Amino acid sequence: MAFDVDAAYRRYAPMVLRRCRRLVRDEAKAVDAMHDVFVNLLRAGDRLDDEAPASLLMRMATNVCLNQLRGERRRPEDADDAALLAIAAAEEPGGLSFARLSLGTLLGREPESTRVMAVLHHVDGLTLDEVGREVGLSAAAVRKRLRGLKARVAAHDQEDVA
Amino acid sequence: MTTRTPEWLVERLRQDDLPPDEAGAVRARLADEGGLDRLEALARDDARFAEAYPPGPAVGEIRRRAAARAGSRPRPRRLFLVAVPLAAAAAAVIALRLPGGGDDDVRLKGSSPRLAIHRQAAGADPEALARGAHVRAGDVLQLSVVSAGRPYGVVVSVDGRGVVTRHGPGDGPLAAALPAQGAVPLDHSYRLDDAPAFERFFLVTGGAPFPTEPVLDAVRRLAAEGRARTGAPAMPPGIAWTDFTLEK
């Protein structure tokens, strides 16, 4: 079955753009990220089969925005923004690339990016249980994954201070 | 401590994306905090979006980007060399990011020879592929060899048309020496053609230099027998092999 990108855009693009706006805080960059989310969706095509498409799309948007933010050197606007920039700059536990994770997760072959989980927990305010439900892990597993990322965020902060 | 219902959950509620019990809980939570109007606010924003970013131009842009990232059209040869600098660039990243198994909580120990395959898209990091990963005509692949101490080896592939290809390292009559440690990318990246069904790669290793032609013959026989996708090739004595199949 061919993937209907037009129908997906009509239904989900407003939500995806809101997600991107919240993370990158710049309208032009948010629109750019929104386009990229649907590019990824289009490229996955009919292999995409997810029972919760809104959650999947918002996780994809989070991944795309983290990629955008990774190279940014700007002053955080507030605590959420600071947390987001630190998460974006941190290395993924296990050394996995965003590119691998974003497509692999989309196709159900890879676990969710730990950085996406960190954003859900530390920026969006979801509990560990809620994050676990989003990504199909137990709260304990989420906590374990976030612990590894936290060390990397701390290391990155140390580098910045130095 | 009670916190405001996360926007994430409100968006999912609006999209009917939550299981019924969770949807009920989120709706009740919103009602408790007097936040049901947040759903209406999302509806209003959806309407504004439709005016500001209509689907026609946006979907056109999305298709344009997708086509650009899919790369050039497949060429007649089943696999062909891509610029060496790409392989070199990928190698630097791969060296940092291997191992690339299917579980980011468990790092592979590399105790036996294996292949690693990365897909390279323009402007993106190499993507480590797992066995059984789906690939398409036009995908650019970088193969890397982890010898795990086996001193000599060759990489061979067979595709869904039964075409057998040698990938190196080297192209002499004998298998080339392999570095003892680490993942070593082959000299060239490859772009897949439109052969159907699968691409199966073999890493064949030995304790001493061995002739590569019998190895190629073993894989050709497999293809001739219609067992290329999953069959075990009859390799010469003393030769070990491991495989890595990608689906198309």
**Domain spans of chain A, in order of start:** 5-161
The owner of tokens 């993924």 is A92
What is the number of structural domains in chain B? 2
Q: Which residues from chain A sit within 8 angstroms of residue B6, using beta carbons? A: 124-126, 130
Specify the 3-state DSSP secondary structure of B26: helix
Structural domain range at position B183: 79-247
pTM of the shown model: 0.54
Same domain flag for B210 and B137: yes
Same domain flag for B124 and B229: yes
| pLDDT for the residue numbered B71 | 53
**Nearest in space to B53 (alpha carbons), one of A66, A20, A40, A45:** A20
In-domain check, residue B183: yes
Q: Percentage of chain B with pLDDT > 70?
A: 81
| B50 part of contact set with chain A, CB < 8 Å | yes
b/e code A93-121 from CB counts within 10 Å (16+ = b): bbebbbbbbbbbbbeebbbbbbbbbbbbb
Same domain flag for B42 and B161: no
Quick check: B45 and A110 CB within 8 A?
Answer: no
Quick check: A94 and B105 CB within 8 A?
Answer: yes
What average pLDDT does chain A have?
A: 77
> ipTM value of the model?
0.83
φ, ψ for residue A20 (rounded to 5)?
-65, -40
In-domain check, residue B227: yes
By mean pLDDT, which of A9-13, A15-19, A149-153 is the weakest?
A149-153
In-domain check, residue B67: no
Q: Which residue has better confidence, B182 or B82?
A: B182
**In sequence order, what are the residues at sequence separation of 6 or more whose Cβ sits closer than 8 angstroms to the Cβ of residue B136?**
B70, B192, B248
Same domain flag for B34 and B87: no
In-domain check, residue B69: no
Quick check: B4 and A125 CB within 8 A?
Answer: yes
Same domain flag for B102 and B220: yes
Same domain flag for B121 and B36: no
How distant is the Cα of A93 from the closest Cα of chain B, in angstroms? 7
Same domain flag for B41 and B138: no
Q: How far is CA B55 from the centre of its chain?
A: 31
CA distance B119 to B137: 12
Same domain flag for B214 and B125: yes
In-domain check, residue B66: no
